[in-house]
Structure 1
Amino acid sequence: MTAPVEPTEIRLKRAERVLEIDFADGSRFVLPAEYLRIESPSAEVQGHSPEQRQLVAGKSGVGITALEPTGHYAIRIVFDDGHSTGIYSWDYLHRLGREREYRWAAYLKAIEAAGLSR
């Protein structure tokens, strides 16, 4: 089993509405607030099973107001739409960075199929 990849630096760029994260494995990701919001690990978004996952739309202008450390393994992201219940572990943030292209394409397809907008 491999050790979790920890961040070496996290930068919140409020004006650009992005979170930049550098990890110990040398990877660096720029994660837009909208992407982080629609992929929130909270039960409100993820549900308690894959069938309960909620499609979150209308968040293209969402921003991040705060980052709150959660132990030594995660952060809580506070969004300006009031959402703040997701705990983003280092592993989850790393996975979001690695899978961004795939997840984003799937999201765009899903909201289009549902007749919703970003």
Structure 2
Amino acid sequence: MSPLAVANSRSKQQLHLSWPDGHEQWLDYALLRRQCPCSQCRAFRLQGTPPLVDARVQVLGLNAQGYGLQLVFSDGHERGIYPWPYLAQLPSYAAGG
């Protein structure tokens, strides 16, 4: 299931997803960067050394990939494609909090 809408709120440093079931999800940029699903970031997490992420990291670009979303971060990282189900299970902030 893919979201009905995706918005990049740089002022709040969050990605906003509106899902077909009415669920609204606000995902923090730093969380998204730490949870990058690319093979390199996954390997770091499996080794117990998650990527160090500056809390001020920004999402500069969103590239739809059909089954998910590629995020381009201000630290230059852009390898991860976040499948829709993966994004849906990440912790969200209520009402854009």
Does the pair score TM above 0.5? yes
**Distance across 2 between alignment mates of 1:87 and 1:58:** 18
Question: What's the secondary structure of 2:4's corresponding residue?
Answer: strand
Residues 1:67 and 2:47 aligned together: no
Residues 1:82 and 2:76 aligned together: yes
Equivalent residue runs for 1:22-33 within 5 Å: 22-33=18-29
TM-score when scaled to structure 1?
A: 0.71
Question: How far is 1:47 from its partner?
Answer: 1.5
Runs of 4+ in 1 over 6 A off after TM superposition: none
Question: What's the secondary structure of 2:16's corresponding residue?
Answer: strand
TM-score when scaled to structure 2?
A: 0.85
Matched positions, count:
92
- Report the CA distance shift for 1:38/1:27 in structure 2 as closer, same or farther (over 3 A): same
Residue aligning to 1:14: 10
Q: What 5-or-longer segments of structure 1 have no aligned partner?
A: 102-118
Cα offsets for 1:54-111 (capped at 9, x unmatched): 41224211001000111x2111000000010000111111011xxx17xxxxxxxxxx
Question: Which structure ranks higher in relative contact order (CA pairs < 8 Å, sequence separation ≥ 6)?
Answer: 2
